[in-house]
């Protein structure tokens, strides 16, 4: 699969938004691949991890997030479900799942209902090892501070707004994906 062709389809202009999208995607992909390489026992699909990491934020252009050059109309929280819709149209259901399940450390149906979030009320929690890995790697990078990788503690802090469940999932992933060197 040529993920660059998909990116170019939705981000046809070389502008600041595409730059932010590409740099962030590459950072997430590189971290995910480095973790994958340290954990052959987890038997993950390397090509899929790279593709899905590069595409996980594909829906941001439709969102209202001026700080990252997004001038759409949808709330930023919707970028994952928007990305999932785009990937389904491309015939990529596994990539769609990564898009919709990477927000926070995943969001449950109950959280969506309790917090009246503007996304479909269903469980959007990473399930496959690849989904978990990309979601985990994503938490270390911000699209507003492109050249900085967060520490584990800083990444955890960004999850506090999503509740205790997400923090617990992230802590489990930190153990699962720990650096072996």
Alpha carbon distance 82, 47 (integer Å) = 23
In a domain, 31, yes or no: yes
In a domain, 112, yes or no: yes
pLDDT for position 163:
79
In a domain, 19, yes or no: yes
In a domain, 97, yes or no: yes
In a domain, 181, yes or no: no
- Per the structure, the complete domain to which residue 79 belongs is given by 3-176
Condensed to tens digits (0 to 9), the pLDDT of residues 60-88 reads: 999 999 999 999 999 999 999 999 999 99
Q: In the chain, which stretches have pLDDT less than 70?
A: 180-181
pTM of the model: 0.96
pLDDT for position 3:
95
In a domain, 96, yes or no: yes
pLDDT for position 181:
63
Between the CA of residue 7 and those of 100, 105, 127, 133, 146, what are the distances in Å? 17, 24, 25, 21, 19
SS (H, E, C) 127-166: CCHHHHHHHHHHCCECCCCCCCECCHHHHHHHCHHHCHHH
pLDDT for position 160:
85
């Amino acid at each position: 699969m040529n993920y660059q062709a998909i990116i170019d389809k939705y981000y046809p202009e070389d502008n600041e938004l595409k730059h932010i999208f590409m740099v962030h995607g590459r950072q997430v992909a590189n971290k995910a691949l480095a973790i994958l390489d340290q954990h052959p026992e987890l038997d993950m699909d390397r090509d899929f991890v790279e593709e899905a990491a590069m595409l996980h934020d594909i829906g941001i252009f439709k969102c209202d997030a001026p700080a990252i050059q997004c001038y759409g109309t949808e709330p930023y929280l919707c970028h994952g479900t928007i990305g999932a819709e785009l990937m389904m149209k491309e015939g990529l259901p596994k990539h769609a799942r990564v898009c919709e399940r990477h927000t926070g450390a995943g969001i449950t149906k109950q959280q969506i209902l309790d917090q009246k979030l503007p996304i479909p009320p269903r469980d959007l929690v990473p399930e496959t090892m690849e989904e978990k890995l990309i979601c985990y790697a994503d938490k270390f990078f911000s699209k507003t501070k492109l050249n900085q990788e967060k520490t584990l503690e800083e990444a955890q802090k960004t999850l506090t707004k999503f509740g205790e469940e997400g923090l617990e999932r992230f802590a489990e992933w930190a153990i699962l994906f720990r650096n072996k060197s």
